[in-house]
Amino acid sequence: MIETKQSILKFLIENCIFASSASTFSASLEATSRSSIYRFMKGTVSPKTVNNIWNDVCNSFALTDERLIEVAITVEKAKWFTTVVASYSFDKKDPLWTEKLLCALIDENYANLPTSFVKEVVPLLKDLKTDNKDIFFGMLMLFYVKAKQLDPYNSLFKQTLSDLIIHLNNYFHSVHPENDVAYKAIQALTSETLLDVVPPCTWGLVENPTLILQYYADPLFLNAALRGGTIFHEWGDFSYWHDADENFTKGSRFWLFMSRESDSIYHGSYIVQEFEIGNDNETFIDKQIFNILFLNKENDDEDYDAIVQISESKPTEKHSYHIYYGVYKYEKEADEMWMAFPNEEDNIYQLPLCLKRIRFDVPTKSQEKVWSHFIGKFDNSNALEIFVKSLCRTLDVEYLDDEYPIKDVCLNRTFFSLVIGENEKQKQYRISLESYSFLKGLSVFDELIICKHKDELFVEWSYLGYAIPLSDFEELNVSSE
């Protein structure tokens, strides 16, 4: 039983969760000696020493007391689940049998699992998932790591972790091609910045990859994850920024920030469009477009508030998105955003050290009045039109809500149906709920739109991050409007 701090720590050490052995465990800690671990395993230490080791583990692996307890329960459940699975007739000659098992449990589609397993074990798994999703998904990931015999205690830990994330992400995306947002979000986990901070241990192979299961299981989980992003309400939906050290002149750059605050999976981030001032004061050339996420402020005493994440809006390589990290500090009274990056390569879009927000209401300095005057005119004329065209061109998407308006949506136990206006006629389409797992969780009130990706029409739930080719729907009838 793992009921006390001492029993929890001993259980984790014995199962090599944070180190390959008890003798190497102290090397992964910040303030505990090898002799202390030796005496701890012998049971000859005081309660104070147990507390010191507990606190050292929490500090060394960035875990709260509650999370460390969850880690122990996760390990315990994974050992149970591994034993249970071994007693049922899974096709273990299939090299993807573990992936298929995870997918069945995530999608709650048990048709291809052993009947006895579904009857005897699945109800227990459902109860565990209801009680604590983090433990449930962590258990599945630890089971997978053990089943694949992945070894975290070698010199290639980063490569092992990266390969694990890429493989599972590709597999789940092959099963759920409609969930492109989860696929892109998970790619961030393979950035060098994140891989470098993962401790090389069994738990390091479990913690971040668990997000893969959660992202594909529930699109709203990604929504919750992005709640870590800060929305600055005083900026409004759209704001404009310029280099604090530059005047309004030909060749100078400025940036339009569009906030993404909603119930969508994009909550907490900004789309940023860079512009360059042209040959006259009313010519503005759209340049690069990218995404930026300001993580929530952590400490008022730090030189910088928190981490800023910058990512491409479109992959530069096939199926590969690059994520970059820096730090930021926001000076609200001065309308200034300061950013710093570890090196020049991380500042991929050459952002200045300090961005100054362009105010249309109360500019005071003469140069700020110039920025305010001309960018204000641009904002009132065709700024949004240029931005939308640039975004659609970058994403290779065309939104067709005017050409193909959604007239009605219906949902029953068997089909998802919709009526689309087209060429002064109404066409009715339907698709079986069994076609894509996320369809069963939809509401008729979820916002959707018809769009075109690379010359193919899609039905897209933008706020949920899903898109299905219209060709996958069955066309039922045509009627005049």
> 345, 346, 386: which is closest to 254 by C-alpha?
386
Average pLDDT over residues 290-316: 74
pLDDT tens, residue by residue, 220-255: 666 555 555 778 889 988 999 999 999 999 999 999
Q: What is the predicted pLDDT for the residue at 460?
A: 86
Using a pLDDT cut of 70, give the percent of the chain over it. 91
Q: In what order do the strands lie in the sheet with 425-432?
A: 406-411, 415-422, 425-432, 474-480
CA atoms within 13 A on the CB side of 51: 3
> 296, 229, 288, 224: which is closest to 259 by C-alpha?
229
Band the pLDDT of 183: cuts 50, 70, 90: confident
pLDDT tens, residue by residue, 89-105: 999 999 999 999 999 99
Amino acid at 392: C
For residue 334, pLDDT beyond 80: yes
Please tell me the distance from the alpha carbon of residue 82 to that of residue 77, in angstroms, as a whole number: 9
pLDDT tens, residue by residue, 79-92: 999 999 999 999 99
Contact 254, 358 (CB under 8 A): yes
3-state secondary structure at position 401: coil
Q: What is the predicted pLDDT for the residue at 265?
A: 47
C-alpha 121, offset from chain centre: 30
Average of per-residue pLDDT values in the chain: 87
pLDDT tens, residue by residue, 9-54: 999 999 999 999 988 898 888 878 889 898 999 889 899 999 999 9
CA angle 472, 475, 481 (to 5 degrees): 130
Residue 210, sorted as left (phi over 0), alpha (psi -120 to 50) or beta, turns out to be alpha
Using a pLDDT cut of 90, give the percent of the chain over it. 51
Contact 260, 267 (CB under 8 A): yes
DSSP state letter for 440: G
